[in-house]
Structure 1
Amino acid sequence: MTPLRVIVEADGGARGNPGPAGYGAVVREANSGEVLAERADALGIATNNVAEYSGLLAGLRAAVELGASEAEVRMDSKLVVEQMSGRWQIKNPGLRPLAAQAAALVRRFDRVTFVWIPRERNKHADALANKAMDEAAGITRAVGARAAAARGGGVVAGKGEPAEPAAGSARPSWEPPVTTPTRLLLVRHGATALTAQRRYSGRGDVPLSEEGLAQARATAARVKSLAPAISAVVTSPLVRCTRTAEVIATALGGTPVEVEPDLVECDFGEWEGRTFTEVRAQWPEEMDAWLGSTEEAPPGGESFRAVATRVRRVVATIHKGYPESTVVVVSHVSPLKILLRDALAAGDAFLHRLYLDPAGLSIVDMWTDGGVAVRMVNETAHLAS
């Protein structure tokens, strides 16, 4: 088999530094220039340099997935190119974990070179990064303008340049909205035996403990006091969530319960059922990688990036299906943290800094113009004995 040689074009940017950020990456066959893969995503709030490194990581991972043996990385970030080439020190401690992840990926190739290119020669990756930031902000653009920019025939917002919102998209404002949002009442399921033992509890179908059932009843009473008119209760398929959802629906007088597979907890793979201490002792490098990047997964498990993809799908479906309505969403720690991260336009570090108690309650409002308001996070007063 002929070894595959590729060109990786990567970029990232932030509208503000730090500010809402995103990245883009393109993998091309080295000889023909044919596009083999594209990667892009929003990052929440981050710096330009973090976004650039994120683009590099996405491009390298895509090249690995394609089975490439050699890669020439082209970026308009002098900082990333020089640091990855070993000519500049990495003085910013926030960039060191990203550079370490990139170095680990580089070792999976026979040969990788880093080349600086002017920004005008990196338009395709730049366009992908801006598209990701636009979509995260609820901004739409004409396909022709974006395609022209990717071909070098147009101008798009770049690093540090805010894009002009499209008609109807949300603009920042201190004024309270006057229209009715779709309101999500986010409920983490009640406690289980694994919760008390501080064990990873992902796809294992563990029932509520007696304490967890009491927590579900208390949460149901709190939900009813906040919003007696609930259109639906949407839940993860796992029994600890469906039981919590049933208790809430009964308290509301029989509100319909909808099972949504995409709300299931992250798959923790080989870590499932193990204590946090056991995992740290047995998989220290894997845990560091997992904590350092949402694209890393536990051995045999699922990355937070994959969880985010399905959570966003659920949110979009609820927003479309229940306009100007209130919906209870019963899920797990990981999906709910990701939903709140996106609602707050926060960075990935948010996922490891937010704590969600069993049966804790959060509230997110979403408007048709793209506006979002987080009204409450992890309320637990109703659980006080």
Structure 2
Amino acid sequence: MREFIVEADGGSRGNPGPAGYGAVVRDAATGATLLEAAEYLGVTTNNVAEYRGLLAGLHAARTLDPAAEVHVRMDSRLVVEQMSGRWQIKHPAMKPLALEARGVFPPDRVTYEWIPRAENKHADRLANEAMDAGARGERWSAEGSTADLEAGAPGAGEAPGGEPRLGAPGRQQSRGPGERRSTARGWSAAPDLGAPATLVLLRHGETPLTPQKRFSGSGGTNPPLSEVGREQAHRVAEALAERGTVQAVLASPLTRTRETAEIVAARLNLDVVVEEGLRETDFGAWEGLTFGEVRDRYPDDLNAWLADPAARPTGGGESFAETAVRVAATKDELVTAHAGRTVLLVTHVTPIKTFVRLALGAPPESLFRMELSAASLSAVAYYADGNASVRLFNDTSHLR
């Protein structure tokens, strides 16, 4: 029985916006590229484009051998988890696409694997070529594609026997529209590392504890949004929809962040992915208390906490140093998984301040020098070489 690897991707320049997909079928034994597919889709969402890429790859594999086994590799965790049956499919636009995908091959002959975006360059480039062609009013053509060469794919441009692959003879590596080469470092003239991963950081809306300025972390009562908080979430949802750049929504597992994220995601026609690393610091015995109450009850512990990022709150909470390690690990995973994309992270005060602090290379005490309002937006862009650019901080203009 033949075995194929299908790599697929889809993108939307805006969400929804001009969209396209790309897919490539490889021989599992040799890694050689057997078929490519790409298409401009017009205006649709990023998730729909990803599913359309999956469908194109599966159908391409079926044309080669309907009896084959297929291993699908995608950088869309949403598609991989839904097609693997671990996540529910809630969005009505994606349900028929997923159903069609399950019918191309018998389910027991298809497996799914999530891969970082950096390992999916061939399909990603095909999707961008299709979108570029659509912007020119043209159809994508394999004859002009450089996707496999730019991705450095095994067997690129060759058939399994080493002969030039159909549609690939004499192709030279080239750069896509708008891409440029630069040796300068820094956010204003970044190296030629492609588009950054842009993390848009949204603090959740108000809860009943927010106006009282009480410690509210991972170990407290897990309060929901107040009516004011829900209104704030709707306002930020409208602002983000108007910008039209967010391609995925991730949220801390706590109630207030999930409620905020669900309101925003519904407006953007996206699903919410829960990310454990985005949870707030655990403030131990200080949960639910004001700063003044903590100072009166635990003065020595509070002074130690203010002086040392490794000090924990009373009662075995989480130190800022421990939070920083968790947030840094989460940041690395997200930057790898979402290179070139704009992702909304709905989280809390300490994680957002930590994302910004790490991007600036600022000391831990800088956390006490930042003010972060409920339902505020901040943004940090991360490049492949580790450089970061703080684009926005504590923006509340959408609430006025």
TM normalised by structure 1 equals 0.54
**Separation of aligned partners in 1, 2:398 and 2:186:** 33
Among 236, 258, 279, the residue aligned to 1:242: 258
CA contact (8 A) 1:190 1:213 kept: yes
Distance 2:294 2:336 in 1: 40
Greater Rg by CA: 2
CA distance, structure 2, for counterparts of residue 284 and residue 382 of structure 1: 38
- The list of structure 1 runs, each at least 4 consecutive aligned residues, that deviate by more than 4 angstroms after superposition, is none
User: How far is the alpha carbon of 1:169 from its aligned partner?
Assistant: 11
Which residue of structure 1 aligns with residue 274 of structure 2? 259
Separation (CA, whole Å) in 2 of partners of 1:239 and 1:170: 44
Query: Aligned ranges for residues 37-76 of structure 1 at < 5 Å?
Result: none
Identity of aligned residues (%): 42
User: For the residues of structure 2 that align with 1:177 and 1:186, how far apart are their CA atoms?
Assistant: 25
- Counterparts of 2:374 and 2:339 in 1: how far apart (Å)? 28
Aligned counterpart for 2:200 among listed residues 174, 185, 190: 185
Match of 1:341 in 2: 357
Query: SS in structure 1 opposite 2:389?
Result: strand
Name the amino acid aligned to 1:197: Q
Maintained 8 Å contact 1:224/1:252: yes
1:358 aligned onto 2:374: yes
SS class of match (2:210): helix
Q: Is the 8 A contact 2:187 2:388 kept in 1?
A: no
1:212 aligned counterpart, secondary structure: helix
Q: Which residue of 2 aligns with 1:194?
A: 209
In 1, the alpha carbon distance for the partners of 2:342 and 2:238 equals 16
Cα deviation code 1:272-304 (max 9, x no counterpart): 011111001111111111011110010121101
Deviation at 1:177, TM superposition (A): 6.4
Measure how far apart 1:196 and its partner are: 1.2
Q: What TM-score results when the alignment is normalised by the length of structure 2?
A: 0.52
Amino acid at match of 2:367: L
**SS of residue in 2 equivalent to 1:368:** coil
Compute the RMSD of aligned alpha carbons: 1.9
The 5 A counterparts of 1:285-296 are 285-296=300-311
Q: Deviations over 1:155-206 (max 9, x none)?
A: xxxxxxxxxxxxx999446536673111111000000010111211012210
Matches within 5 A, 1:129-148: none
Counterpart contact for 1:217–1:248, Cα < 8 Å: yes
CA shift, 1:346, in A, is 0.8
In the alignment, does 2:281 pair up with 1:271? no
The residue type equivalent to 2:336 in the other structure is K
Contact 1:170 1:371 (C-alpha < 8 Å) held by counterparts: no
Mapping of residues 91-102 of structure 1, within 5 Å: none
| Change over 3 Å in CA distance of 1:195–1:173 after alignment to 2 | closer
Aligned to 2:88: none
Aligned position for 2:189: 175
Q: Distance in 2 between matches of 1:366 and 1:296?
A: 29
Aligned length: 215
Q: Equivalent of 2:335, from 319, 332, 335?
A: 319
Q: Which runs of 5+ in 1 are unaligned?
A: 1-167
The aligned counterpart of 1:298 is 313
Q: 182-191 or 315-324, which moves further after superposition? A: 315-324
Q: Could you say if the C-alpha distance between residues 170 and 368 of structure 1 is closer, same or farther in structure 2, counting changes exceeding 3 Å?
A: farther
* Amino acid in the other structure paired with 1:175: A
Q: Is the 8 A contact 2:309 2:365 kept in 1?
A: no
Question: 2:303 is matched by which residue type in structure 1?
Answer: D
